[in-house]
Structure 1
Amino acid sequence: MIQRLHIRNYAIIEELQLDFAEGLSIITGETGAGKSIVLGALSLILGGRADGKTLFDTGKKCIIEGRFNISAYNLKAFFEEQDLDYDTELIIRREITPSGKSRAFVNDTPANLKVLQQLGNTLIDLHQQFDTLYINNAEFQLELLDALARQRDAVAVYRKQYATLQANRRRLNQLNEEAAQARREQEFIEFQVNEFDEAALLAGEQEELEGERHRLSNADEIKQLTNGVFHYLSEDDNAVTDQLLSIGHKLLPLAAGDPKLKDIYDRFEGIRLELDEVASDLEAFGDDTEVNPERLEEVEERINLIYRLQNKHSVTSVGELLAIYEELSGRLGHFADLGGEIEKLTAEQKTITEALQKSGLQLRKGRKKVAPQFGKQVQEQLAELSMENAQLVVDFKELAEPGPHGLDDVQFLFSANKGGRLQTIKAAASGGEMSRLALVTKSLVASAMELPTLIFDEIDSGVSGDVAQKMGKILTDLSQHHQVVVITHSPQVASRADRHYFVYKQDHDDAARTITKVRELNQEERIRSIAVMLSQNPPSDGALENARELVEG
């Protein structure tokens, strides 16, 4: 509910503040005093378009601030989605600079107009003549019927099932697209995997093969060199190993008595032994090296196969090729899994659709049960509001498949005149008729559903006497369940106020211009104001007595 509206430097308003309470608040005043300007200011904090030309003082910025209690609106999730601080007390502020630039704040955090509009739709339902009202909205019409049918829990079940079905469909569509792409890719990937299977690559084999190719390619030279070196080191008459052994024998006696020389001898002996091993290894390497053209050809073919695969996949090692092989094999496995998942989701979709159909039929039954009585009650109340020939019929059309709100497309069809063709409310109702229709429909569901603060601007236009009295009664009943604000020229409606605000014009301090002021009336001020509405200013004694009866009766 709205608790306070503060306006500064807007149109002909220098500064004013309205404090609202629960129940029925009435705003009255002279024609042109600024009642519609107050609504214009309110619309700005609900996301309306701003214009720097509306500033009272063009040298200062305009500030409009609304304070709301939002504890009953379940808006915490919305605030989290918008990255806004949540509190049960909400402050929305709109600022307009002299240049026309506009800024908006939600609990002191900058916000865009879309956020303001979304909040505004939840917090305030502003009814002005010729507006497109909630009553035109198909979703609201369904919500209204569901409220009358007391099937909020059934609606929640249906919506959850529908959301699950939509998520299932999105996933199934995604998988089907992947499967179609997979079928296009699978043959090529299978060819690549088969190529890897035939190659039977082993980690580290490329280095071994390149070493073997080097030995096979240089086998004659290797054998000749290794044999020659071995002979020189160990087999020659003056073999190096023999000479080193002789030198060692000479050093050993001398080294026995000198630690430093002993260290040199040990190092010498280590080199001699290492050289013996080198000679033996050279002999063995030469013996193992064979001249084998057939094996060389096999190694060359294997290496060339590896090189081709590396060039094909733009890599430089067998390890990278094996990683690609593993990834391609995994993709083939994924293709195989797709079919199973698609089959599983298809079965789930069938089950969800059956449950959704059952829930939708339950909603349809509840809606169709309350629709005739609802239409009858609307007609009866409209008749009391001087619309004796009005008709409202709820039209049901079955959808080809379940929709987000059920199995039916629902439209309220309306006719204001006797023998008139039933049409959509937007097409059939004038501004005044639409306002009365909105009042009646919302009064019928006031106790059954949550509604935002309802603001009616001159809903009583063109009615008086007994009709206005009945309209006041409906507004009073509606205000028992929801906060209602009414701008009116009707004394009968004004007499119903829990709080009565009077908007008036006053000369500015410099007497050069007129400004709008507002004040809350006490009991005697209310009686006098209503008496003026009944007669003239100053009011007659009879008008004052009549006004007192309206207020106190």
Structure 2
Amino acid sequence: MLQRLIIRDFVIVDQLELEFGHGFGALTGETGAGKSILIDALSLVLGERADASVIRAGTERAEITAEFDVAADSALASWLQTNDFDVTTCLLRRIVDQSGRSRAYINGTAATLGQLREIATFLADIHGQNAHHSLLNTEAQRALLDAHASAQELLRDVATAYSTWRQAREARQVAMTDSEAAARERELLEWQVKELAALAFNAEEWQETETEQRRLGNASALLEAATGALAALDEGETAALSTLQHAGARLNELITVDPALIDAAKLFDSAVIQLEESALALRRYQDRLELDPSRLVELDSRIDTVTQMARKYRVPPLELPALLARLTAQLDELSLRADPVALAEREQATEAAYLAVAEKLSALRTKTAKRLSAAVTAGMQELAMSGGQFDIALEALGEGASFGLESVEFQVAANAGQSLRPLTKVASGGELSRIGLALQVIASQANPVGTLIFDEVDVGIGGRVAEIVGRMLRDLGKTRQVLCVTHLPQVAAQADWQWTIIKETRNGTVVSSVRRLDKESRVAEIARMLGGEKITSTTQRHAAEMLGLTE
């Protein structure tokens, strides 16, 4: 649920801090007061694109902060944890500067625009005032059905399978028309694969070769350093180890004379032991170190061969194995192209895989279309379209597409006795608004997010229908937080709480502010919505009656 929204220097809002409640809330105000600015600000913090035009005139930047609650075992908490954000709260912040650049933060940590949009799917669902117009687009109709069916994962599988099938078909067609060029390319690839395979190169062998080559190349210097150190310790005329050992023995003898020597003697003994171990290690190193010129020549030759091969193919030496793998895969593909039977079999197999997953999507769409059609038809009866009928028609395509095996078409009969026809051809503006509203309310019931926002979705309706819409939103508010920007008193009167948006002039600048309405001021606001500028006692009584009906 949305708990708090803070807006600074956004459009005509200078500074606004709002705390939201449960249930159904209505946002009202005169035309042009900026009712939709709150929705625009919330959309921005949920990942909508922005530019410098949203910054209030005379200021340097716009800043929006929204706070949502987080249930401990919710999908939102899981998403925050998976993306390494703090899970105790959900605080979103968006800043837009004069250059049009924006910065985003989740719980105080920098976030991408993509992350904002992703987390938004767990937080709020915004229905815009022109959403019903999208119903005239067949792609939008299909998308709405698929969203209601929660078919996103299945849709991705269908698109992937379709792409694989199309690639297999194109490969067969190309092989049939360009076999001579493919043969030349295959011959080159065979030579390259053979040459790289003969090199028998791998990263571990390369590292060992370089290490051994460096050691042998510097063997003389290494041996000289080890011999010099050993002579200084234990084998030269002035070897230090025997002198130090004698001095240590003498110190230990005198400990009985003065115990104060104990700590110094222990440290001295420890140093002598370390030097003795160093002398042993140097002798072992001398025994292992070889001066092998022939082996050095062999290693130099290997390094030169690998380096020249890498230079020839314009890759670093360590990428030669990956290059061999790529060229081998290309050769396998070309070899397959030379086999029309194998190509045809692969095409058939990928087509079968596509059909299998696409048929699952078709079954899900059929089931969901039946359920959604019945629900919208029932909603139409409530929205003054008695006898009307809504249906989602699925028409099979010739051979399928990336979105499945059928097209989706919304059909409607606005009145009893009429036959179903495409929504684009029969619905009037008011009917389209009511059908769209029914779809949005029904879709919202299936949406798991805690906050539902409706921005003047009641455009084109009035009277008894408006009262029914208000009741629909009030019912939604029993299980969700519902916010609705509305110009209809019948809708606002059904709200559990109400804010009014006011536009005023301060110091010569127009700004918008928000005022929470108590019972008395709600009556005045509903009366204004009913009667306009002149509010009579009759209008006030009517407004009080409307509010009384909801108590």
TM-score class, shorter: 0.5 to 0.7
- 1:399 maps to 397
Alignment of structure 1 residues 84-163 onto 2, 5 Å:
85=85, 87=87, 89-97=89-97, 99-107=98-106, 108=108, 124-131=124-131, 135=135, 141-142=141-142, 145=145, 155=151, 158-159=154-155, 162=158
- TM-score normalized by the length of structure 1: 0.58
Aligned to 1:64: 64
Q: 1:92 to 1:347 in 2, by over 3 A?
A: farther
Q: Give the greater-gyration-radius structure (CA).
A: 1
- Equivalent residue number for residue 519 of structure 1: 515
The structure 2 residue matched to 1:381, chosen from 376, 379, 382, is: 379
Q: Which amino acid aligns with 2:102?
A: R
Equivalent position amino acid for 1:549 in 2: G
Secondary structure of 1:35 counterpart? coil
Who is 1:35 aligned against?
35
Q: Which residue of 2 aligns with 1:47?
A: 48
Alignment of 1:230-245 (within 5 A): none
In the TM superposition, residue 373 of structure 1 has moved relative to its aligned partner by 5.9
Paired residue for 1:550?
549
Deviations 1:467-515 (A, max 9, x none): 111111222233345443211122221122233222224553x4x4453
Aligned residue number for residue 263 of structure 1: none
Distance 1:334 1:389, change over 3 A: closer
In the alignment, is residue 493 of structure 1 matched against residue 505 of structure 2?
A: no
Q: Deviations over 1:317-376 (max 9, x none)?
A: xxxxxxx9xx99x98999579758998897677556445534543543453355356435
Deviations 1:294-332 (A, max 9, x none): xxxxxxxxxxxxxxxx9xx999xxxxxxxx9xx99x989
Secondary structure of 1:467's match?
helix
1:470 to 464, 468, 471: 468
1:90-140, Cα deviation, whole Å (9 max, x unpaired): 44433344x453423132555666665666677554434445766567666
Q: Secondary structure at the match of 2:439?
A: helix
Percent identity over the alignment is 30
Counterparts of 1:215-234 in structure 2, within 5 Å, are none
Distance 2:467 2:194 in 1: 89
Judge conservation of contact 1:391–1:415 (CA < 8 Å) in 2. yes
Q: Is the alpha carbon distance of 1:352 and 1:159 closer, same or farther for their aligned partners in structure 2, counting shifts above 3 Å?
A: farther
- Asked if structure 1 preserves the Cα contact closer than 8 Å seen for 2:470 and 2:495, the reply is no
2:231 maps to none
Matched-pair contact (CA < 8 Å) for 1:6–1:16: yes
The match for 2:10 is 10
Where do 5+ consecutive residues of structure 1 fail to align?
196-309, 316-323
Question: For residues 157 and 551 of structure 1, do their structure 2 counterparts lie closer, same or farther at Cα, with a shift above 3 Å needed?
Answer: closer
> TM-score by structure 2 length?
0.58
Q: Cα gap change, 1:193/1:414 in structure 2, threshold over 3 Å: closer, same or farther?
A: closer
Taking a change above 3 Å as real, the CA distance of residues 54 and 446 of structure 1, as seen in their structure-2 partners, is closer
Identify the residue that residue 183 of structure 1 maps to in structure 2.
183
CA distance in 1, matches of 2:134, 2:448: 14
Find the partner of 2:456 among 434, 441, 458.
458
Distance 2:499 2:193 in 1: 83
Q: Using a 3 Å threshold, how does the CA distance of structure 1 residues 464 and 52 change in structure 2: closer, same or farther? A: closer
8 Å CA contact 1:63–1:94 kept in 2: the answer is yes
Q: Which amino acid aligns with 1:465?
A: G
Please give the alpha-carbon distance, in whole angstroms, between the structure 2 residues aligned to 1:54 and 1:129.
23
Aligned to 2:501: 503
> How many residue pairs get matched?
414
Deviations 1:408-464 (A, max 9, x none): 121224576897994455x77676654432320133344434468432233333533
Give the residue type in structure 1 aligned to 2:514: V
Residue type at the aligned position of 1:520 = R
Would you say 1:529 and 2:522 are equivalent positions? no
Do the aligned partners of residues 531 and 352 (structure 1) sit closer, same or farther apart at CA in structure 2, a change above 3 Å counting? same
**Cα deviation 1:379-431 (Å, max 9, x = unaligned):** 45335434568664423222344445432121224576897994455x77676
Contact 1:35–1:503 (8 Å) recurs in 2: yes
What aligned pairs does 1:179-328 form with structure 2 within 5 A after superposition? 183-187=183-187
Which residue does the alignment assign to 2:436? 438
* Cα drift, residue 63 of structure 1: 1.7
Q: What secondary structure does 1:492 align onto?
A: helix
Partner of 2:278: none
Deviation at 1:3, TM superposition (A): 3.3
Tell me: CA distance 1:435–1:5, structure 2 relative to 1, closer, same or farther (3 Å): farther
**Counterpart of 1:47 in structure 2: which amino acid?**
E
Partner deviation per Cα, 1:246-296 (whole Å, 9 max, x = no partner): xxxxxxxxxxxxxxxxxxxxxxxxxxxxxxxxxxxxxxxxxxxxxxxxxxx
Partners of 1:127 and 1:513 lie apart in 2 by 31
Q: Say if 1:549 and 1:362 are closer, same or farther in 2 by CA, change over 3 A.
A: same
Deviation, structure 1 residue 546: 0.6
Residue by residue over 1:194-250, the C-alpha shift from the partner in whole angstroms, topping out at 9 and shown as x without a partner, is 99xxxxxxxxxxxxxxxxxxxxxxxxxxxxxxxxxxxxxxxxxxxxxxxxxxxxxxx
